[in-house]
Amino acid sequence: MRTPRLTSLRLSTLLLGVLSVTLAALADDAAQRTQAPEIAPSIVLNADPAEQAQTPAPVPFQEGPKPHWVWGPNNDGKYTISTRFDATGAKRVVVKASCDNVMSLTLNGKPIANSSEWQEPVEKDVTQLLQRRENEFSADVDNQGGAAAFIASIAIEHTDGKWSHIVSKTEWTAVDRGTKQVVKLEDKGELGVGPWNNVFSAPASDTGIPRDTFVLLPGFQVEKLFTVPKEEMGSWVCITTDPKGRIIASDQGDKGLYRITPAALGQGSRVEGLGKSPFTLVEKLPLNITGAQGLLFAFDAL
C-alpha cells in the first residue's frame, strides 16, 4: 500500500516543479519593440603575425617626471580627467595609466583602452591616433569603494630620439560626470606612495580592449541585435529558444518574459522561419512569470 502513495507523491512533486506554458499565440502587441542590428566594434585576433612579432623598444617611463595620483573631491564621484598636449614632430607616443578602480581612456575622442585592475597598468601606443597639433587625452574614471585615484604618463619620443613626458597632476582638467561641473583635482601623492606603490614597475597590460569591443578570429563579425532598456525590460539573466529558433528571455526582477525574433543575419543570409525582417522584434509575453533562473523549451511548451 505504501508504494503507490510514494509513487503518487513523487509524481505530484514533479508536476508541481514543472511549469508548462504554451507560447504559440502569446504576444503583447502593446509591448513590442524593434531595432535594426548594428555591426559591433571589434578587433581581429592575430591579424598580422609578422607585425605582432615586431617588438618596439621599451618606453623609459621611469626617467621622466613622476606622475601624481589624482581624484576629484568625492571618492564615490565619477569624473572625466583630461589634458591637452602638442605632439608636433612626435615620432612615437605611448600612454601608461592606472586607476583605482575603473577607467576608460580615449585620445581625441577615440577609445584607447579600459581597465578595472589598478595593479595592472595599461600601456598603449597611440601614435596612429595623433592629430598634427593639439591632442586631447581623456579618462572616464569611477570608483567601486575604498581608495580612489588615477595616474597617467604620456611619453613622447621626438625625431632626435629623446623622450619627454606629460604626467598627471592636479592642474589637469576634471569634470564631474553627474553635475557636468568642472571640479578641482586633489593630489593623492606621487608615483610610489601607498597603497599603490610603484604600480608602473608592474608588467603593463597591452591587452586593455576598449569597452564594448569584441576580439574575433579573422572573417567573423558581431552584430548587436538589441539594446535592452533596463528601466522597462530589466536585466535578462537567462534565455532559451523555442522550436522556431526565437529567443525567450526572463528579467531577473519583476519585468517578466520577452520573446526575441532576431533580424536577418548579416550579408542577406536567412535562417528558416527567421530573419525575414531587417529588424529585431522584441515582444513582452503576457504571462505572470518573472525572475526565472532557468528556462527550457520541451514538447512545444516552456
Tell me what the mean pLDDT of segment 251-261 comes to.
92
How many separate domains does the chain show? 2
Domain check: are 227 and 110 in the same one? no
- Measured in whole angstroms, how far is the alpha carbon of residue 266 from the centre of its chain? 23
Domain check: are 98 and 177 in the same one? yes
Statement: residue 29 has pLDDT above 90: no
Domain check: are 147 and 241 in the same one? no
Q: Which of 211, 229, 256 is the last residue of a domain?
A: 211
Domain check: are 259 and 130 in the same one? no
| 46 grid coordinates | 592575430
Asked whether residue 11 is assigned to any structural domain, the reply reads no
Q: Which of 183, 211, 239 is the last residue of a domain?
A: 211
Domain check: are 248 and 189 in the same one? no
Statement: residue 131 has pLDDT above 80: yes
Asked whether residue 10 is assigned to any structural domain, the reply reads no
Q: In which domain, by residue range, is 151 found?
A: 53-211
Domain check: are 166 and 94 in the same one? yes
Asked whether residue 79 is assigned to any structural domain, the reply reads yes
Domain check: are 83 and 205 in the same one? yes
Grade residue 14 by pLDDT with cuts at 50, 70 and 90: very low
Residue 296 has a CB neighbour count (10 Å cut-off) of 12
Tell me what the mean pLDDT of segment 275-285 comes to.
83
CA distances from 30 to 216, 273, 282, 284 (A): 38, 23, 11, 8
Asked whether residue 176 is assigned to any structural domain, the reply reads yes
pLDDT for residue 275: 52
Tell me what the mean pLDDT of segment 63-70 comes to.
93
Asked whether residue 287 is assigned to any structural domain, the reply reads yes
Domain check: are 64 and 198 in the same one? yes
Grade residue 292 by pLDDT with cuts at 50, 70 and 90: confident
The dihedrals phi and psi of 196, each to the nearest 5 degrees, come to -90, -25
Domain check: are 35 and 57 in the same one? no
pTM recorded for the entire structure: 0.54
Asked whether residue 243 is assigned to any structural domain, the reply reads yes
Asked whether residue 61 is assigned to any structural domain, the reply reads yes
Pairwise CA distance, residues 185 & 247, whole Å = 48
The per-residue DSSP string of the chain comes to -HHHHHHHHHHHHHHHT------SS--EEEEEEEE--EEPPEEETTS-HHHHH--PPPP-GGGSPPPEEEE-S-TT--EEEEEEEE-TTEEEEEEEEEEESEEEEEETTEEEEEES-TTS-EEEE-GGG--SSEEEEEEEEE-SSS--EEEEEEEEEETTS-EEEEE--TTSEEEETTT--EE--EEEEETT-TTT-SGGGSPPBS--PPTT-EEE-TT---EE-----HHHH--EEEEEE-TTS-EEEEESSSS-EEEEEPPPPGGG--BTTB--SSSEEEEE---S----S----BTTB-
Mean pLDDT of the chain: 81
Domain check: are 74 and 206 in the same one? yes
Statement: residue 69 has pLDDT above 90: yes
Domain check: are 138 and 261 in the same one? no
Asked whether residue 93 is assigned to any structural domain, the reply reads yes
Model pLDDT for residues 133-191, shown as the tens digit of each residue:
899 999 999 998 889 999 999 999 998 889 999 999 999 999 999 999 999 999 999 99
CATH of the domain at 143: 2.60.120.260
Given a contact cutoff of 8 angstroms between Cβ atoms, the answer to whether 126 and 208 are in contact is: no
Grade residue 48 by pLDDT with cuts at 50, 70 and 90: low
Q: Which of 161, 188, 211 is the last residue of a domain?
A: 211
Domain check: are 277 and 184 in the same one? no
